Chains A and B, each alone.
Chain A
């Protein structure tokens, strides 16, 4: 198995974005049958399936650009944690519903700006994906916003728990906007992560204000996911996600 560090920049970029979506799908899937209401099971599964579609396109494309014959399944199921390029935000455990909604707000607002920027990418595959995905993510962002507003500006208990969820997730937000090696090598094709931040702030800031939530001021921040440095949680997530495929290669139904 070749390492990821040797990938061509475009393949590395597609892989990083695809891994973000893929790992978050696995986390969202954990909510199915456990969400506060059945309606929310369906909503989170729908959001997950949108992300899975994005992940499949991106991983397939990464494999094709790499040119080594790896398909989406090889990339999803046969890499170890150090070869995953997702930010740590998407791999952290779900926590309670407030933690999940805080993470979903931060990530969906980021993805919305990302795909908006990629609409004008010089790469037709990325631009095509962005055209479809930006509408999906618009809904994901709205769904998370609705919940953050209701829980934040809700009862004393819901506000305290929403604030706690936000505090827990916020240290992982900066990493979304870190410069990555691949993006610098792909002018006109990739979106500069740092350039996405102002628009992200303009969306998330007012939502927190309206939800009467305090913007956290964490004393640490995550880093390194794009270089394959992950939390202890990713290995456990992959064990569950990859087990079937590794035990029964090529299994289908």
Chain B
């Protein structure tokens, strides 16, 4: 791949940033940024997204590595789920006094 194809028009590739806010939770996508390589992307993510103590762990992923569903495929992808009520746990009576459900 040529240099120009690999890099954005601004010169640096784009990275997606995922931050885990505390132990036990999963990483959440928080945004994206430009960086020349992975090590700098981590540092930039630290500066841009965790300045106020938001995180205990950061992942950075090249945006080009993300495979996304297409808006054109919205119907076949997501519509069939809408009428499958049995996929939702709505047919159970919740016993009285059961907590943390």
Q: Which of A's residues lie within 8 Å of B, judged by CB?
A: 37-40, 42-43, 46, 139, 142-143, 146, 150
Given contacts A42-B44, A142-B43, 7 further A-B contacts (CB under 8 A): A37-B10, A40-B44, A42-B47, A43-B43, A43-B47, A46-B51, A150-B36
Chain B residues with Cβ under 8 A from A150's Cβ?
36-37, 40
Chain B residues with Cβ under 8 A from A38's Cβ?
34
Question: What secondary structure prevails in chain A residues at the interface with B?
Answer: helix
Asked, given contacts A39-B34, A39-B35, whether A146 binds B48 with beta carbons under 8 Å apart, the answer is: no
Pick the contact of B48: A39, A139, A142, A143 (CB < 8 A): A39
Q: Please report the C-alpha to C-alpha distance between residue A148 and residue B63 in the assembled complex, in whole angstroms.
A: 26
Chain A residues with Cβ under 8 A from B43's Cβ?
43, 142-143, 146
- Is the Cβ of A42 less than 8 Å from the Cβ of B48? yes
When C-beta atoms are compared, the residue in chain B nearest to A40 turns out to be B44
**What's the nearest-Cβ distance from chain B to residue A170, in Å?**
25
- Is the Cβ of B40 less than 8 Å from the Cβ of A146? yes
Sort A-B residue pairs by CB-CB distance and give the 3 closest, nearest first.
Answer: A39-B44, A43-B47, A42-B47
Q: Please report the C-alpha to C-alpha distance between residue A42 and residue B46 in the assembled complex, in whole angstroms.
A: 10
- Is the Cβ of A37 less than 8 Å from the Cβ of B34? yes
Asked, given contacts A37-B34, A39-B35, A150-B36, whether A46 binds B47 with beta carbons under 8 Å apart, the answer is: yes
Q: Please report the C-alpha to C-alpha distance between residue A160 and residue B62 in the assembled complex, in whole angstroms.
A: 29
Per-position 1/0 for B12-44, Cβ under 8 A of A: 100000000000000000000111110110011
Chain A residues with Cβ under 8 A from B11's Cβ?
37
Chain A residues with Cβ under 8 A from B46's Cβ?
139
- Is the Cβ of A39 less than 8 Å from the Cβ of B39? no
Chain B residues with Cβ under 8 A from A40's Cβ?
44
Q: Please report the C-alpha to C-alpha distance between residue A146 and residue B40 in the assembled complex, in whole angstroms.
A: 8
> In chain B, residues 35-77, which have Cβ atoms closer than 8 Å to a Cβ of chain A?
35-37, 39-40, 43-44, 46-48, 51
Q: Please report the C-alpha to C-alpha distance between residue A142 and residue B47 in the assembled complex, in whole angstroms.
A: 13
- Is the Cβ of B10 less than 8 Å from the Cβ of A146? no
Chain A residues with Cβ under 8 A from B10's Cβ?
37
Chain A residues with Cβ under 8 A from B51's Cβ?
46
**What's the nearest-Cβ distance from chain A to residue B54, in Å?**
14
Q: Please report the C-alpha to C-alpha distance between residue A51 and residue B67 in the assembled complex, in whole angstroms.
A: 41
Pick the contact of A146: B33, B34, B39, B47 (CB < 8 A): B39
**What's the nearest-Cβ distance from chain B to residue A157, in Å?**
14
Chain A residues with Cβ under 8 A from B47's Cβ?
39, 42-43, 46
When C-beta atoms are compared, the residue in chain B nearest to A45 turns out to be B47
Chain A residues with Cβ under 8 A from B37's Cβ?
150
